[in-house]
Structure formats: C-alpha cells, structure tokens
C-alpha cells in the first residue's frame, strides 16, 4: 500500500509538470490552429538559459530569465513565422514548427556539447518521510507549484477580459473580432503563456528528481511525453490537458513499478491509442478538432 501511495504522489508530481506542457500545446492549438512541434525547443532554451545563468546570478534570477526567454522565443516564433502562414495549410504550419524545433535543438545541443547540467533547484535530491512513505521533495514541490499555476491560469481564462477574449477567439475568430478582440494580440499572448509554461516545466524536468538527466536532448524528448497528454485530454480542451497530464504522469509511475521501466515508455502511448479508439477527439475534445 505504501508503495502505491508513493507512486501516486510521484506520478502526480510528474503529472502536474506534464499538465503544464500539455496546456501549452492546447493554448497554442486553440490560438493558431496547429500543434506546436517546437514546444520541446522552448523547454530546452529555457533550461539552457537557466543553467547558464544560475552560476553567476543564482537560481531564482536564472529561472526567471529562463522562463521569460522561453516566453519571448515563443512570441517571436509566432509573430515572425506562424502568423505569416495564417489561413494557410495546417500541414505547412506543422512542418514549420518542426523545422523551427530542429534548428533550435541543434543549436542548443551544439552549445551544450556533451554536458547535461542540472537546473540546481534548492529542493533537489531531498526526500520527505510521511509515516511509512518516502517521497521526493521535488515531486511534492512540482505538484503544489503545478496546481497553483494551473489554478491561476484557469482563473485568468474565466475571469479576465483577456481570458474571455482568448476563449471567444478559439471558438470563433471572426465573431470575436466583431466584438473588438484583436486577434493578433490574443494569439501572441497565448504563445507567450505557453512559452512561460514550458519555461516553468523545465525547472522540474531537468532536475535529478525527475528523470535523472540535466538539460540535454533528453529533456527535449521528455516533452514528447506531454504530447500524448494533450491528445488524451483533447487538443482543444484546457481541462483535458490537465487531466491528460496527470493520466500520463500516473501511468508512467505505476507501469514503471509494476511492469518494467521499458514498458513505462510505451504505456503512455498505449493509453493514448486506447483513448483515441474510444474517443477520437480525446476525453474532453470537441469533435470538430479533427479538421486539423
């Protein structure tokens, strides 16, 4: 029983981080109508900025720089490249983001060389004992921090003018414009937020507690696990992204323990396929999504 509790907490901690990444996919999908395959590169750039800056400036400032860096990079990608293809072929948009991803990842990997530095968060490598169970402090922090960010984000969507404008635009671009919503600003803001979420996620992903690897190509491939999270939840559903994130986190944790480490990698994709067979647009997605 205590093993199960331990797995659940660890899985939920990872799940919260995957939820942040999946939310990024969903927010961008809703704003620009395409999956952002450059999301991994945003994570990597944020991680790279953070590890480079943490020696001289300390982790707090470094983390803020990394998060902002990812946000700004996301806006640049949107403004300079994605916005120009508006109304174009969604496939072209997907290929565009893949291209951007390759370029950025190669550049960061080149700069890193063979090193894979950890983001040096103060809670790394610590464990907490609660009764019989032992959990990594990093997973608890990820869970709490992730939940707070998700709550703030959902409050923004629900209660602020920007959030309303964004939801309105996702449903009907023209109708939103007719109410004075500036499509370009809302879309850029969506990418900014997705970038910021990616930047926050790497502060957990690239620590010893999470996957055992520092900022490297491996960090980038971890992001690919968040993609099934978004698909499982439904690409256009923010609720779905959160649920999907936790499903992925927990699936990974349980299958690693009860089956095997190798199977854990596959398990997430099996869950995704199972969901897609039953509900082609994901658990919470709108049917219409399939047009892309």
Partner 1 sequence: MQRRVVPMLSASGLVVGYGANRSVLDRVDLSVPDSGVVAVLGSNGAGKSTLLRTLSGTLSFHGGALHDGQVKLDDRPIQRLSAASIARAGVVQVPEGRKIFAKMTVEENLRVGAVCTPPGRRASARERVMELFPRLAERLEQRAGLLSGGEQQMLAMGRAVMASPRVLLLDEPSLGLAPKLIEQIGDIVTEISAQGTPVVLVEQNAAMALRVAATAVVLEVGRVAMSGEAEQLKDSDGIHDLYLGGHSHPAAQDVDGEVEGEATDLPRRRLARWTA
* Bridge partners (DSSP) listed for residue 83: none
Contact between 10 and 135 under an 8 Å Cβ cutoff? The reply is yes
Is 171 near partner 1 (CB under 8 A)? Answer: yes
Q: Where are the alpha helices (DSSP H) in 77-182?
A: 90-112, 137-159, 161-171, 173-178
Identity of the residue, 181 or 250, whose beta carbon is nearer to partner 1 in the bound complex: 181
Q: How far is the CB of 282 from partner 1 (least distance, A)?
A: 15
Site for partner 1 in 145-164 (CB under 8 A): 161, 164
Q: How far is the CB of 32 from partner 1 (least distance, A)?
A: 16
Q: Which stretch binds partner 1 (CB under 8 A): 101-109, 172-180, 190-198, 212-220?
A: 172-180
Q: Which stretch binds partner 1 (CB under 8 A): 19-27, 117-125, 179-187, 197-205?
A: 179-187
52, 79, 137, 167: which one binds partner 1 (CB under 8 A): 167
Taken in order 196, 43, 8, 248, the sign of the CA dihedral is positive
Is 172 near partner 1 (CB under 8 A)? Answer: yes
Is 102 near partner 1 (CB under 8 A)? Answer: no
Specify the DSSP element, H or E, that contains 128.
strand 127-130
Taken in order 228, 150, 17, 77, the sign of the CA dihedral is positive
For 222, residues 6+ apart whose C-beta sits below 8 A from its C-beta are 43, 205, 210, 211
61, 111, 128, 182: which one binds partner 1 (CB under 8 A): 182
Q: How far is the CB of 132 from partner 1 (least distance, A)?
A: 45
38, 119, 136, 176: which one binds partner 1 (CB under 8 A): 176
**What is the CB neighbour count within 10 angstroms for residue 99?**
13
Identity of the residue, 79 or 173, whose beta carbon is nearer to partner 1 in the bound complex: 173
Backbone angles phi, psi at 135, to 5 degrees: -130, 155
Is 288 near partner 1 (CB under 8 A)? Answer: no
Is 276 near partner 1 (CB under 8 A)? Answer: no
Number of H helices, E strands in the chain: 11, 2
Q: Which residues in this chain contact partner 1 in the complex, by CB under 8 A? A: 161, 164-165, 167-168, 171-183, 286
């Amino acid at each position: 029983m205590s093993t199960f509790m331990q797995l659940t907490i660890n899985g939920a901690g990872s799940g919260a981080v995957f939820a942040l990444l999946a939310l990024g996919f969903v927010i961008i999908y809703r704003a620009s109508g395409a999956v952002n395959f450059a999301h991994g590169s945003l994570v990597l750039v944020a991680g790279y900025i953070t590890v480079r800056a943490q020696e001289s400036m300390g982790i707090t400032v470094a983390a803020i720089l990394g998060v902002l860096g990812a946000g700004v990079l996301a806006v640049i990608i949107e403004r300079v490249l994605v916005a120009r293809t508006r109304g174009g072929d969604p496939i072209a948009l997907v290929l565009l983001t893949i291209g951007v991803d390759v370029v950025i990842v190669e550049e960061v990997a080149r700069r890193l060389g063979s090193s894979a530095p950890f983001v040096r968060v103060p809670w790394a490598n610590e464990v907490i004992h609660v009764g019989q169970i032992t959990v990594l402090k990093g997973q608890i922090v990820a869970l709490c921090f992730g939940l707070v960010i998700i709550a703030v984000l959902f409050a923004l969507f629900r209660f602020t003018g920007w959030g309303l404008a964004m939801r309105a635009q996702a449903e009907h671009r023209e109708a939103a414009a007719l109410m004075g919503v500036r499509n370009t600003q809302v879309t850029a803001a969506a990418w900014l937020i997705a970038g910021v979420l990616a930047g926050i996620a790497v502060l957990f992903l690239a620590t010893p507690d999470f996957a055992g690897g520092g900022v490297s190509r491996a960090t980038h491939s971890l992001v690919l696990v968040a993609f099934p999270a978004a698909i499982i939840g439904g690409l256009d559903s923010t609720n779905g992204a959160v649920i999907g994130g936790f499903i992925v986190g927990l699936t990974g944790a349980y299958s690693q323990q009860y089956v095997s480490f190798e199977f854990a990698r596959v398990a997430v994709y099996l869950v995704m396929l199972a969901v897609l067979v039953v509900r082609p647009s994901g658990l919470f997605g709108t049917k219409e999504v399939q047009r892309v």
